[in-house]
Amino acid sequence: MMNIVLLEPEMPANTGNIGRTCVATGTRLHLIEPLGFKVNDKTVKRAGLDYWDDLDVTIYDDFKDFLEKNPQCAGKLYMFTTKSRQCYCDVTYPKDAWLMFGKESAGIPEEILVDYEDYCVRIPMIGQIRSLNLSNSVAIALYEALRQNGFDQLNPKGDLHRLHWKSEN
């Protein structure tokens, strides 16, 4: 199972959208405090629609607490940052990868990144753009990791029913 880790997320709508993506993909969500909102905030729930109750989510006091409670993430914790020299699609993600993203206003602090330099990855952008929206970044990264693993346990195909219609001449 994939894991999304949000370090100090600030915007409830982003976290709600990410929660919905996690439910749709069978991914666990890990939230590291301080949060810029209360988890029961109506904005979080509205963005997550009626999926929030189905979300597998754990909240941690800080990054140290997260690491202590998840020793299994060692060697599988990928940190998404604009400061990395490595592209996110050049990494081979295990089926139980941990994809970590920092808060919207500042990303993951450098004092954390330096200890994980080999696991830092970047989503390419043009010019000096600061960053993408957090929920978009999570979706890009998660679906690449899922794609690499054959979309394990996801429905890869839909069922389009052809509509019959007459063309008017």
CATH code: domain of residue 127: 3.40.1280.10
In a domain, 167, yes or no: no
Is the pTM higher than 0.85? The answer reads yes
Residue 114 lies in a domain: yes
Whether residue 13 is contained in a domain is answered as: yes
Residue 160 has pLDDT above 90, yes or no: no
Inside any domain, residue 105: yes
Specify if 115 maps to a domain.
yes
Count of domains in the chain?
A: 1
Average pLDDT score over the chain: 89
- Whether 158 is in a domain gets the answer no
Other C-beta atoms lying within 10 Å of the C-beta of residue 9: 23
Binding residues for S-adenosyl-L-methionine: 102, 123, 131
- 3-state secondary structure (DSSP) of residue 82: coil
Q: Does 156 fall in a domain?
A: no
Paired tokens of 158 = 């839909």
C-alpha dist (Å) from residue 53 to 16, 48, 50, 162:
11, 9, 7, 34
Q: How would residue 155 be classed by pLDDT, with cut points 50, 70 and 90? A: confident
- Would you place residue 154 in the very low, low, confident or very high pLDDT band (cuts 50, 70, 90)? confident
Q: How does DSSP classify residue 107? A: B
Residue 114 has pLDDT above 60, yes or no: yes
Residue 153, in any domain of the structure: no
Report phi then psi at 49, rounded to 5: 50, -145
As annotated, the binding site includes 102, 123, 131
Containing domain of residue 21, as a range?
3-148
Whether the Cβ atoms of residue 63 and residue 35 lie closer than 8 Å to each other: no
Non-local CB neighbours of 89 within 8 Å, separated by 6+ positions: 144
- Determine the Cα–Cα distance for residues 108 and 6; give it in Å rounded to an integer: 9
Over residues 14-46, the pLDDT tens digits come to 998 999 999 999 999 999 999 987 777 566 666
